[in-house]
Amino acid sequence: MNLINLNIIFEQYKGVEELNENDRLLCELSEQALASSYSPYSKFRVGTAIRLASGEIILGSNQENLAYPSGLCAERVALFSIGAAYPNAVIESMAITAQTDNFEILKPVTSCGGCLQVMAEFERKQSAPIEVIFYCLNGEVLKVPSVKSLLPFAFVEDRLER
C-alpha cells in the first residue's frame, strides 16, 4: 500500500483591490456578467469572465430552465461559447463570482463538479494551465494556478480520442 498526499496551493486575498490590474479587471467583468443571468427560480446569479491568450475576454452567466436540469452554469456557458467560436483559443484565466438577493454571500463560490470537469477538459486540450479566480463580491478572493489543483482526478480516457 502507498499513502499519497495531495496538496493544493492557492492564493488568498482579502479583497479584489489586492489583485493585479488584469485580475481585478477580470473580476469586475465577472461581476458585470451577473446582469445577464437568467435565474428566476434559484435567484442565485453567477457570472464568469474568461481571458484568452489573445487578450479577448468572454463572459458567461448561469441560465436556468423550469425543466431542471436543463439549465447551464456560467462557467460552461462561457467555455462552450469559446469552444464554438474560438475552437483553438488558449484560455489564460477565468474569474467567477455569485450574487443573490436572498442572503449575503460571505465566501467565494466555487465551481460545481460538472464545471470542473469541463474546465479540466479545456486545460487538457490546450496543454496549459488555466488560472481560476473565485471572487466574493466585497470580500475574499481565492486564486488557483490550475484546474488540476481543483480536480486532481478528472475523468480522462485517452483511448476515446482514437
Say if domain 21-153 classifies as CATH 3.90.1300.10.
no
3-state helix, strand, coil in the chain (%, to 5): 35, 25, 45
* Residue in the structure block whose three cell numbers are 486564486: 143
pLDDT for position 93: 98
3-state DSSP assignment of residue 152: coil
Note the pLDDT tens digit of each residue in 50-105: 999 999 999 999 999 999 889 999 999 999 999 999 999 999 999 999 999 999 99
Catalytic site residue from 31, 64, 75, 131: 75
pTM of structure: 0.94
pLDDT for position 162: 67
| 75 is known as an active-site residue | yes
Domain boundaries in the chain?
21-153
Question: Please, what is the angle between helix 74-85 and helix 113-126, to 10°?
Answer: 30
